[in-house]
Amino acid sequence: MVKPTLKRLSVKRQCELLELPRSTCYYKPRPTSEEDLRIMRLIDEQFLKGERKL
């Protein structure tokens, strides 16, 4: 993928060649909070039971 330490090609040029937005190179995902995980589990339980009403 993109290597920021590569001297021959800038990050911008590497992204252009890969047809990626530069923001993709700098994106760092945040961990999912415990509260979000709890809510997702509840939604999954409801969906798996066949209850589509939330």
Q: Give 54's pLDDT tier (boundaries 50, 70, 90).
A: low
> Rounded to a whole number, what is the largest CA-CA distance in the chain?
56
Question: Under a CB-based contact definition with an 8 Å cutoff, are residues 3 and 25 in contact?
Answer: no
Indicate whether 1 pLDDT > 60: yes
Terminal-to-terminal C-alpha distance of the chain: 41
Q: pLDDT tens for residues 18-41?
A: 999 999 888 889 999 999 999 999
Residue found under tokens 């920021």: 4
Indicate whether 46 pLDDT > 70: yes
Q: pLDDT tens for residues 2-20?
A: 888 888 999 999 999 999 9
For the chain, the structural domain boundaries read 11-48
Rg (CA), the chain: 20
Question: Under a CB-based contact definition with an 8 Å cutoff, are residues 2 and 15 in contact?
Answer: yes
pTM for the predicted model, two decimal places: 0.52
